[in-house]
Amino acid sequence: MSIAAPIQRKIIHCDCDCFYASVEMRDEPSLREVPLAIGGKADQRGVIATCNYIARQFGVRSAMPTSQALKLCPDLVIMRPNMEKYRIASKQILAIYRDYTELVEPLSLDEAYLDVTGALQHQGSATRIAQEIRARIAKEVGITASAGVAPNKFLAKIASDINKPDGMFVILPDQVHDFIATLPVAKLFGVGKVTAAKLHQLGIQQCQDLLSWSLPELLQQFGKLGGSLYSLCRGIDNRQVQASSERKSVSVEETYTRDLPDLAACIAEVPELYASLVKQTERTKAVDHIHKLNIKIRFNDFKQTTVECRSSALDEATFVELIKTGYQRRQLPVRLLGLGIGLAEKNDDDQLSLF
């Protein structure tokens, strides 16, 4: 009795190029010739959400404080985000994806995995499907997207970043071994700066350097992450594309121009945040699916804490108590407060949530 070979997956990772900025440049062509960033104002402790490639040449990056970005690029044009416009573009892009497969896993407004293993278009060629998707996004939405094509999610994600912007990279099954061998270990999922430094200290620079380490050795050195390193350095990633459009949380937050000096000042901000959260909850029709209440506090030293509790309904007094608990952890001036709810998935009473 023969055992059937496992199905060879065909995964596409699509990622729009500087999405928010691209939408703005689409609508105002003059912005294509200048360094552009989407984010908050410098005098209000704003942060860069994204920027175009001209701005990136000056060292501007997402998550960078706007004040720092302006020091690097004094001529930087900064625009406030227009989320409704970006959501419309995102829905158009998702509709394009779903013309090819129902197995679409959105990661954000502008990024998604697609499993096209069973797709019939282009005789099932994932490469040609990805090419057509990118062409349609350019024609129908007016922005560019990059794509990676590979046998699994990990490799597809890596591939989509190789020829950015407006490019594509394909890793065929028989190319996986050679591709992964020279991949820097810092590119592996779960490897941050601290883990990368530890790997380098052990003489591990590329994935091929990991191959001589046994699974027990990696588990001993890195705990649970060791198991992931063992698989990924061999190009193995068995995660499936999870097609889900269910919302898992609703939240609102505010970054304050001036720090909130104490707990009383934080509590005084709750009614306004709560009213905003109620509106968001009603707009998203999430009232009947509340599973948890959550708060987020970012202190003036940029350390952050979250507190949550189980609840099936919004309650302002509960948010106040959660903020009291969170504030006691550091008792410093506060630069950001957030309130949120976690939503239960269907048939899943243990769904976690939030920020």
Res 6: pLDDT = 66
Res 244: pLDDT = 66
pLDDT at 1 over 80: no
DSSP-derived 3-state class of residue 30 = helix
Q: Is 110 annotated as a binding residue?
A: yes
Q: Given the structure tokens 């009473």, which residue do they identify?
A: 349
pLDDT at 354 over 50: no
CATH class of 177-232: mainly alpha
**Residues 349 and 290 sit within 8 Å (Cβ to Cβ):** no
Average pLDDT over residues 282-288: 79
pLDDT grade for 353, boundaries at 50, 70 and 90: very low
Rounded to 5, what percent of the chain is helix, strand, coil? 40, 25, 35
Query: Which residues, listed in sequence order, are joined to residue 78 by a DSSP beta bridge?
Result: 37
Write 88-95 long-range contacts (CB < 8 A, 24+): 89/19, 89/23, 89/141, 89/143, 92/140, 92/141, 93/14, 93/16, 93/137, 93/141, 93/145
The 8-class DSSP code of residue 102 comes to S
Q: Is 178 annotated as a binding residue?
A: no
Res 229: pLDDT = 94
- The CATH number of 249-343 is 3.30.1490.100
In sequence order, the 6+-apart residues with CB closer than 8 A to the CB of 257 are 43, 44, 45
Q: How far is CA 337 from the centre of its chain?
A: 21
Query: φ, ψ for residue 116 (rounded to 5)?
Result: -110, 25
Average pLDDT over residues 182-207: 92
Res 41: pLDDT = 80
pLDDT grade for 5, boundaries at 50, 70 and 90: low
Q: Pick 279 or 150 by higher pLDDT.
A: 150
Task: Please tell me the number of Cα atoms within 13 Å of 350 on its side-chain side.
Answer: 0
- The CATH number of 11-17+84-176 is 3.30.70.270
Q: pLDDT tens for residues 25-35?
A: 999 999 999 99
pLDDT at 284 over 90: no
Domain definitions of the chain by residue range: 11-17+84-176, 19-82, 177-232, 249-343
pLDDT grade for 245, boundaries at 50, 70 and 90: low
Report the distance separating Cα 224 and Cα 108, nearest Å. 27
Report the distance separating Cα 40 and Cα 65, nearest Å. 9
Note if the bond before 184 is cis, omega within 30 degrees: no
**Residues 251 and 340 sit within 8 Å (Cβ to Cβ):** yes
Catalytic residue among 24, 105, 111, 308: 111
- The CATH number of 19-82 is 3.40.1170.60
Q: pLDDT tens for residues 140-180?
A: 999 999 999 999 999 999 999 999 999 999 999 999 999 99
Average pLDDT over residues 189-217: 92
**Residues 63 and 109 sit within 8 Å (Cβ to Cβ):** no
* Known catalytic membership, residue 272: no
DSSP-derived 3-state class of residue 280 = helix
